Amino acid sequence: MPTAHRIRRRSLLAGAATLPLVHTARAQTAKPVVFAMISPLSGPWAREGELQRQGAEMAIDDINKAGGIKALGGAPVRLIQLDAGDSADKAKDAAQRLIAQQPDVSGGFGAWLSTFTLAVTEVTERAGIPWFTQSYSDLITGRGFRFVFQSSPTAVDQAEKALPTIMALAEHSTGRRPKKIGIIADNTASSVSFLKPIRDHVLKDLGVTPVVDEVFTPPLADATTLIQHVRSGRPDLLLALPSNVGDDKMLLDKLAEFGLGRGKLPVVGNGGHWATPELAQNAGKDLVQGLMVITAAGAGRGLEDIEKRYMARTGEPWMLQEPIMAYGHIMLLAEAVERARSPEPAKVADQIRAFDLRDGPAKLFPGNHIKYDANGRRVDAELMIVQWQDGRVVTTYPPGMAVAPAIRPKA
């Protein structure tokens, strides 16, 4: 046998003995699976987008450290981040850039504010990209779309479930059941959806009279007139529905200025922005003490380990709706790709529609069940209520996730 042939034969035999190593090398160089995030990373809602980014990046790292997408030979996952900015037009532009510049994207999530999500999903739906959202507006999944999956309880569902619960918690914490309510809300899509059933029938069903009902366009320039109406109306409970921390703080400051802060008037907020640490840092611990917040997820009982890892990684004092749902949505996308054994968006979307999960990523969401109905709404989606207590946010509802009972603020 010629020398060259003997060398080639020995090389092939040696290669056959090292096939597992060759497979490993291929797995490490497998084409990445691309997921996308569109969130406000600038403007009034940038803090919420930053929290989402933290959760999504933690999920990406966890997946890759665990070996990537195993059904695709260990393919790593990669996150594309786009800024939704401060308007629906900018959010829509971000989605259009995603579709034009990232033809390999398998799915994504965003865009935090319901108004932005409505714009973004018009684009992703046409492109057939499966898209998760934590946004609340019922309109998001009320348009007959097939590629949009809403993991939070819808705003209407929250309103019909949350207000009776809040009334009971308020009665427990203040010693009396509220009979008069004040409402201050911005005109973003989530607030509009949330308030519709409240105005239509929820207040009447509960025997509660609205004595203040004010709507503004964010961001607030001055809250004086709004709080003057609250002082004149003398409600037993204030339902405050801004959509960013700056407006939250302005309302709390003005309530204190008019002698209605520090527990004198119980306040209920809606959305994770009411539970970010800078609200206490900027407004003061005494102004947020006892404030109750309706939210869609958070690290309550049973999720201590993931919260501890998140806190160590980011320096944040707790993990609430934005990071934990971003983390969960990336994990759900990865699960769908694994089951599809393909990064193709249509196949990924088919697997999401077939989800009926009660373990794994499902444990990250209140209700512990991931299943979406024909409209893309999560079945059995529960809401969460947290409260500011001694400078921290703690889960007080649902009972299975609660880490503390609701308290009565000290005036």
Beta strands 384-389 and 392-397, pairing class: antiparallel
Q: Is the per-residue pLDDT at 9 higher than 50? A: no
Partners of residue 150 on adjacent β-strands: 133, 377
Q: Which of 20-24, 83-87, 101-105, 314-318 has the lowest mean pLDDT?
A: 20-24
Q: Is the per-residue pLDDT at 6 higher than 70? A: no
Strands of 180-186's sheet, edge to edge?
209-216, 180-186, 237-241, 267-270, 292-295, 384-389, 392-397
Q: How far apart are CA 117 and CA 127, in angstroms?
A: 15
| Concatenated DSSP letters of 152-201 | SPPHHHHHHHHHHHHHHHHHHHHSS---EEEEEEE-SHHHHHHHHHIIII
Spatial CA neighbour of 348 closest among 2, 71, 82:
71
Q: Please tell me what DSSP assigns to residue 361.
A: G
Q: Is the per-residue pLDDT at 50 higher than 70? A: yes
Whole-number pLDDT of residue 410? 56
Whole-number pLDDT of residue 21? 33
Spatial CA neighbour of 60 closest among 14, 106, 17, 98:
106
Q: Tell me what the mean pLDDT of segment 344-358 comes to.
A: 98
Q: Tell me what the mean pLDDT of segment 145-153 comes to.
A: 97
The fold of the 31-153+302-380 domain, in CATH, is Rossmann fold (3.40.50)
| Concatenated DSSP letters of 196-263 | HHIIIIIHHHHT-EEEEEEEEPSSPS--HHHHHHHHHH--SEEEEE-SSHHHHHHHHHHHHHTT-TTT
- Of the pLDDT bands very low, low, confident and very high (cuts 50, 70, 90), residue 173 is low
Tell me what percent of the residues of the chain surpass a pLDDT of 90.
Answer: 82
Q: How far apart are CA 353 and CA 345, in angstroms?
A: 12
Q: Tell me what the mean pLDDT of segment 48-52 comes to.
A: 97
Whole-number pLDDT of residue 95? 98
Q: How far apart are CA 294 and CA 397, in angstroms?
A: 9
Average pLDDT, the chain: 90
Q: Is the per-residue pLDDT at 16 higher than 60? A: no
- Of the pLDDT bands very low, low, confident and very high (cuts 50, 70, 90), residue 174 is low
Q: Which two tokens stand for residue 271?
A: 């959305």
The fold of the 156-295+385-397 domain, in CATH, is Rossmann fold (3.40.50)
Whole-number pLDDT of residue 37? 98
Q: Which two tokens stand for residue 336?
A: 């769908």
Q: First vs last Cα of the chain: how many Å apart?
A: 97
Q: Please tell me what DSSP assigns to residue 382.
A: P
Q: Phi and psi at residue 378, in whole multiples of 5°?
A: -75, 130
- Please give the torsion angle defined by the CA atoms of residues 215, 216, 217 and 223, in that order, rounded to the nearest 10 degrees: -160
Where would I find the H helices in 106-154? Answer: 114-127
Q: Tell me what the mean pLDDT of segment 378-394 comes to.
A: 94
Q: Tell me what the mean pLDDT of segment 125-138 comes to.
A: 97
Q: Which two tokens stand for residue 161?
A: 């479930």
Q: How far apart are CA 138 and CA 149, in angstroms?
A: 12
Spatial CA neighbour of 158 closest among 119, 116, 114, 118:
114
For 39, the 3-state DSSP assignment is strand
Q: Which of 5-19, 35-49, 149-163, 337-351 has the lowest mean pLDDT?
A: 5-19
Q: Which two tokens stand for residue 107?
A: 């799915």
Whole-number pLDDT of residue 409? 62
Whole-number pLDDT of residue 4? 41
For 363, the 3-state DSSP assignment is helix
Radius of gyration of the chain (CA): 24
For 341, the 3-state DSSP assignment is coil
Q: Please tell me what DSSP assigns to residue 275.
A: G
**Distant-in-sequence, close-in-space partners of 183: CB < 8 Å, separation ≥ 6:** 195, 198, 210, 212, 213, 214, 238, 239, 241
Q: Is the per-residue pLDDT at 3 higher than 80? A: no
Whole-number pLDDT of residue 162? 85
Strands of 148-150's sheet, edge to edge?
77-83, 33-39, 105-110, 131-133, 148-150
Spatial CA neighbour of 284 closest among 388, 170, 183, 386:
388
pLDDT tens digits, residue range 202-213? 999 999 999 999
- Of the pLDDT bands very low, low, confident and very high (cuts 50, 70, 90), residue 69 is very high
Phi/psi-derived region of residue 90, left when phi > 0, alpha when psi is between -120 and 50, beta in every other case: alpha
Q: Where along the chain do its domains lie? A: 31-153+302-380, 156-295+385-397
- Which one is predicted more confidently, 69 or 164? 69
Q: Tell me what the mean pLDDT of segment 10-29 comes to.
A: 38
Tell me what percent of the residues of the chain surpass a pLDDT of 70.
Answer: 91
Q: Which of 6-10, 53-57, 197-201 has the lowest mean pLDDT?
A: 6-10
